[in-house]
Amino acid sequence: MFMPLPLQDGFDNAGLQIGLTDAEVAGVLLCLDVTESVVDEAVASGCNLIVSHHPLIFSPLKRITGSGYVERCILKALQNGIAIYSAHTNIDNAPGGVNYRIAEKLGLKNVRILVPKEDMLYKLVVYVPQSHAEHIRETLFSAGCGEIGNYGSCSFNIDGVGTFKANEGCNPYCGNVGEIHNENEVRVETVMPAYIKNRVITALLKAHPYEEPAYDIFQLKNSWNSVGAGVIGELPVAVEELDFLKDVKEKFNVGSLRHTSPLGHKVKRVALCGGAGGSFAGAALASGADVYITGEARYHDLFNYDGKMLMAIIGHYESEQFTMDIFKEHINKAFPELKIMKTTVDTNPVQYL
């Protein structure tokens, strides 16, 4: 599954914002931000689902009286039977998500995550009779285990002997009640994201031949290198700093590109993070980036990198504008018959003179 909700950051509120999960979708309107004009457009175009990047409901609401644009959007959506779903940091952090698309637009190669997620992986160890090892491995892989980077079906297997004594009332798959039994088993080790644990264990228990399968789950301290904030990659050919910035300005239609002082060397390694990614500039510098591009950064942050790394601020909306294309591609692939439209409303609240 692409961009599952558990990939979102702790502060976020991605997911279904408004609506019922069992409502039938007539059409989908895609946007970065939900505004009243976007809800109007959904109504006029017969789309009863809006998929946005930024969650409409981000801060908790105590009342919905129409006093601000968020409340008015909620009221309008409810009155018109429009559901709203937001995919925010879960698509920022996903492999192939927002930042991969920005990297693709810039022609970067060897793209990898800049700040990988921590504490999201488990190791699963299960002991299974040799005759069932293959079946159990396949069950675990199809439930989502064993993915490391671009590799799938990853496991490690050790032959050994399991012992057990089935007590009165047991119905053992092998061995006899009241006797200690030795069984040639395989210790199958694999990895999984923490958030699929329940699904994996349910599938494992269903597929395992024993009444009481033995398994262990360990929390890993490994970083999850294919999931996280920002990306880094290399240009095929090094280019002059200002030429690179002009290219970024053009490709992202940036009204005003702000940057730190050029360092006087060419740009080859590029780090980037769409949206408000100022806090990841340190990781970009540590990764040896020649330039770091993000949508927003604080004025004082720039002092830390001036003279050390070229840093460019291209605008929050501008940096994430291609997110709608990712939504469109994935929804279209899953539901080829479904009407999907990108909003025609310019929701960027920032204008340039």
Contact set with Zn ion (CB under 5 A): 275, 320
- Alpha carbons 36 and 72: distance in angstroms, whole number: 7
CB nearer to Zn ion: pick between 32 and 267: 32
For tokens 């609506």, the residue is: 19
Q: Closest distance between Zn ion and the C-beta of residue 14, in Å?
A: 11
Q: Closest distance between Zn ion and the C-beta of residue 27, in Å?
A: 24
CB nearer to Zn ion: pick between 55 and 275: 275
- Alpha carbons 140 and 153: distance in angstroms, whole number: 9
- Number of C-beta neighbours around residue 351 at 10 A: 7
Q: Closest distance between Zn ion and the C-beta of residue 295, in Å?
A: 7
CB nearer to Zn ion: pick between 97 and 144: 97
The secondary structure of 92-160 as a DSSP string is: HSSTTSHHHHHHHHHT-EEEEEEEEE-S-EEEEEEEEEGGGHHHHHHHHHHTT---BTTB-S--EEEEE
Answer whether 99's CB lies under 8 Å from 231's CB: yes
Q: Closest distance between Zn ion and the C-beta of residue 102, in Å?
A: 12
Q: Closest distance between Zn ion and the C-beta of residue 322, in Å?
A: 12
Q: Which residue is nearest to Zn ion (CB)?
A: 275
CB nearer to Zn ion: pick between 193 and 315: 315
CB nearer to Zn ion: pick between 9 and 250: 9
- Alpha carbons 10 and 118: distance in angstroms, whole number: 12
Please report, as a single letter, which amino acid is at residue 298.
R
